[in-house]
Structure 1
Amino acid sequence: MALAVSDPCSGFQSPRLRSLFILCFKIGILSFGGGLTGWLYQGFVLKNRWIEEDDFASSLAISQMLPGANVVNLVICMGEQLRGPVGALSCVLGFLVGPFFAVIALCQVFDALADFALLPAISDGVAFAAMGLLVVMCMRGVRRALRFPPSVAIIALTAVLVGLLQLPLIPVVVLIAPISVALAWRRA
């Protein structure tokens, strides 16, 4: 069974729609407690090598600026990048159909086990593992940013303004994004 179809224009092997659906379905159904971006990074960039690290980072940045859930925006961006609008649809359906039914089932289970003392510890443990994936992804992003020192300054400035000074995210991004784009443009 072939996992990719050939793109005659670029020579690039893009994944089949079924492969996109299955990967997004697995990530959607198996990632509890957050950390979805880390799972997507691992699946699309590290494991299958369908998307380059820089393209993933760009898609992530775009998906965080758009309205809606960041990870849903991200799977739409990556699906569209790989297979166009049909790829985006395949990714988003795969990503959401499993959790849709899982949430309904888990709500029933949580209601039935509401008095079970171990339940909070189980859900905390899963959440901590997901946070670990996020930390790994952030560390890789910092290593990537270190190749271009002005990007480290942009990251630090954004972190200070939003994280420490608690300024609103949208105005900070509106002010810093043009500077960041100009620095990246000069680099290219």
Structure 2
Amino acid sequence: MISPVPASPPETPRLRSLFFLCFKIGVLSFGGGLSGWLYREFVLSKRWIDEEDFSSSLAISQMLPGANVVNLVICMGEQLRGPVGALACVLGFLVGPFFAVVGLCQLFDALAGYPLLPVISDGVAFAAMGLLIIMCVHGVRRAMRFPPSIITIAVTAILVGIFRFPLIPVACVIAPISVALAWRRI
């Protein structure tokens, strides 16, 4: 009988690898859906971070002030390589887009009169929405392992999405309840 070989933990990525992966994602992404792309690269492709850690980092990133995906790359970089890893990820993520936005603004100004420009923008936005839906499906699958989390998701979605309650007060009420429920399962 052959005993299974335990999976070895993935190697700690080099700072250069973190920088260039975040640079690639930052430069090639348009219209949102970045958390889906980060999930695919950091969890599925490179296996640097497991699903549980990614989901926790994503949740924290969404609660912090600032852009969610910037917060997310900072969290993942810090988790993988400490403060220097966080710096490598955020610089890689933002340096390319900074220059790309300046260049694209110039290009959009030059092409403003062409009717094809809004069509292209819509197509890119729809692709980003698809990535966001993938992230939602993964999140719900993870939440189904703990039924109270499904109730938390549903109540939050109903209060904010249907009844149009402001997000911050809803989060301030629901988050402590959700944390208490999760704490009880430990």
TM range (shorter): over 0.9
**Divergent runs of 4+, >3 A:** none
Q: Tell me which moved more, 41-50 or 79-88.
A: 41-50
The equivalent residue for 2:147 is: 149
Give yes or no for contact 2:10–2:48 (8 Å, CA) kept in 1. no
* Residue of structure 2 aligned with 1:114, choices 88, 112, 136: 112
Partner residue of 1:17? 15
CA distance in 2, matches of 1:107, 1:172: 37
Aligned match of 1:163: 161
Q: Secondary structure of 2:124's match?
A: helix
SS of 1:76 mapped into structure 2: helix
What whole-Å deviation, never above 9, does each CA across 1:62-81 have from its counterpart, x for those lacking one?
11111111111111011001
Q: For the residues of structure 2 that align with 1:42 and 1:30, how far apart are their CA atoms?
A: 14
- Other-structure match for 2:133: 135
Shift of 1:122: 0.8
1:125, distance to aligned residue in structure 2 (A):
0.6
Per-residue CA shift, 1:127-172, capped at 9, x if unaligned? 1111101101111111111111111000001111111111111111
Q: CA 1:52–1:11 in structure 2 vs 1: closer, same or farther (change >3 Å)?
A: closer
Match of residue 93 from structure 1? 91
Read off the aligned partner of 2:21 and give its amino acid letter.
L
Report how many residues are paired: 179
What SS class does the counterpart of residue 62 from structure 2 fall into? helix
Deviations 1:96-136 (A, max 9, x none): 00100000000111111111111111111111111101101
Partner of 2:3: none
Specify the code of the residue in structure 2 equivalent to 1:30. L
Q: Is the 8 A contact 2:61 2:71 kept in 1?
A: yes
Between 1:10-19 and 1:53-62, the stretch displaced more is 10-19
Could you list the runs of 5+ residues in structure 1 that have no partner in the other structure? 1-9
Aligned residue in 2 for 1:47: 45
Q: Who is 1:72 aligned against?
A: 70
Structure 2: segments with no counterpart, 5+ residues = 1-7
Write the deviation string for residues 28-69 of structure 1: whole angstroms up to 9, x where unpaired. 011101111111111111111111111111111111111111
TM-score by length of 2: 0.93
Distance 1:115 1:11 in 2: 53
The separation in 2 between residues aligned to 1:146 and 1:122, in whole angstroms, is 37
Q: Alignment RMSD, CA only? A: 1.3
Identity among equivalent pairs (%): 78
TM-score (norm 1): 0.92
Deviation at 1:11, TM superposition (A): 6.1
